Amino acid sequence: DALADRYTIERELGSGGMATVYLAHDIRHDRNVALKVLKSDLAESLGRERFLREIRLAARLNHPHILSLHDSGDAVGFLYFVMPLMQGQTLRDRMREEGQLPIDVAVRLVQEIAEALDYAHRHDVVHRDIKPENILLHEGHALVADFGIGKAVVAAAASGATTLTQVGVTVGTPAYMSPEQAAGDEIDGRSDLFSLGCVMYEMLTGEAAFTGPTVQAIIAKRFHFSPPSVSVTRSTVPASVSRTIERLLERDPAGRIASGALVVAALREQDTSTPAQAARQTPRPAEQSVAVLPFANMSANVDDGYFA
């Protein structure tokens, strides 16, 4: 009712721990949109000002691989934001269909995601929940969705908002969470890049990098376990791609690739050999030469000169 003069709510599209998404019609611009309404308990904990401040920062992001924000606000206590309605799959949908993605497709999509993250990080926005469900595929290209409320949730939790704990709200997904995020430490853009490494690992192998019977086990595993190289599961993955994933999954942020731009640069290396082929290759000099040295026949029998 509060939005009736601006949006016609058609039906529910889906619901998660933080929000419910509706198909809506934007009356003013005559277009369908996705309208996401925060759960009431979460909205109460965040507070209107904190929510709108963080959404305002996310709305400033203008990049071809970031899903834009059209609108946001407070409608009689309901906090909401509005996004384009994308007709297509999520990366998760495609991974379920295909298992292992073609190598060239996976590398291209990761480059696009890394470009989006590099742009957001340079504008002081960390996503905090990079996972296949938050990567939309539009016309074959990646769009990173759900920038915005992660930082607000973390800030609310730090301020002692007990409602967040009561409703079980967390930021981040265990299978893709960086070690520093799982430990509750201060994070920066390198945390998103660890998550991107987990996504890429799964795209190429068809298996999650970190698994376990419980959430606690999955989180704990990243502190003492390094997943096998992607080349173990898929020998056709180029050596440079395998190395890039290993560098993204470094436990210590200081040893990780530092920016999305560097991820893109690493994946553009002209090394198409597989790890097995790279191991067999030996360095060769640019030029080869033969040295001809004079020998004297020191044999006692001059006829043995050939064998001497």
Report in angstroms the alpha-carbon separations of 107 from 11, 169, 244, 260, 270.
Answer: 36, 32, 11, 13, 13
Closest by CA position to 141, among listed 108, 172, 175: 108
Q: Which of 26, 118, 129, 192 is catalytic?
A: 129
User: What dihedral angle (degrees, nearest 10) is formed by the CA atoms of 55, 176, 143, 138?
Assistant: -140
Angstrom distance (rounded) from CA 259 to CA 266:
11
User: Which parts of the chain have pLDDT scores under 70?
Assistant: 148-172, 270-295, 297-308
pTM of this structure? 0.80
8 Å CB contact between 179 and 98? no
- What is the per-residue pLDDT for 284? 46
Which secondary structure element, helix H or strand E, spans residue 74, and what is its range?
A: strand 71-75
47-58: pLDDT as tens digits: 778 788 878 888
Q: Which pLDDT belongs to residue 43? A: 76
Cβ burial, residue 133 (10 Å; 0-12/13-18/19+): middle
Position of tokens 């908002």?
161
Task: Tally Cβ neighbours within 10 Å of residue 46.
Answer: 26
Q: How far lies 270's CA from each of 34, 75, 158, 198, 265, in Å?
A: 40, 53, 45, 23, 10
Query: Regarding beta strands 89-90 and 7-15, do their DSSP bridges make them parallel or antiparallel, or are they unpaired?
Result: unpaired
- Catalytic annotation on 129? yes
pLDDT at res. 307: 55
Instruction: For residue range 151-183, list pLDDT tens digits in order.
Output: 666 655 555 554 444 444 455 688 999 999 988
List Cα–Cα distances, 189 to 90, 134, 256, in angstroms: 23, 17, 11
Reduced to 3 states, what is the DSSP secondary structure of residue 229? coil
